[in-house]
Amino acid sequence: MLDNDRAVDLIEGATQAEPFCWCGSHTVAVERDGGVSLSCATLTRPKPRLWRLLTLDLISAHLDRRLMDFADWKAA
């Protein structure tokens, strides 16, 4: 089980270890699908499909790593 302090340490450690995606954008911790993920900031901003296609901005090519599930976390 993770407590509040351990969860904060885990998130801060991940953002310090990987502050940037390969595309050059910074990374952010986001809540998604019952947990927290470290993701490229560009994934949090909606972009038109045509723009993504023309710039070859493929979603699968950006950083999106799961850090923890809320099922493992216990509020103190």
Long-range CB contacts for residues 23-29, cutoff 8 Å, separation at least 24: 23/61, 23/62, 25/62, 27/63, 29/67
Give the pLDDT band of residue 54 (cuts 50, 70, 90): low
Res 17 pLDDT > 90: yes
pTM: 0.68
* pLDDT per residue as tens digits for the range 18-48: 999 888 888 999 988 888 999 888 877 666 6
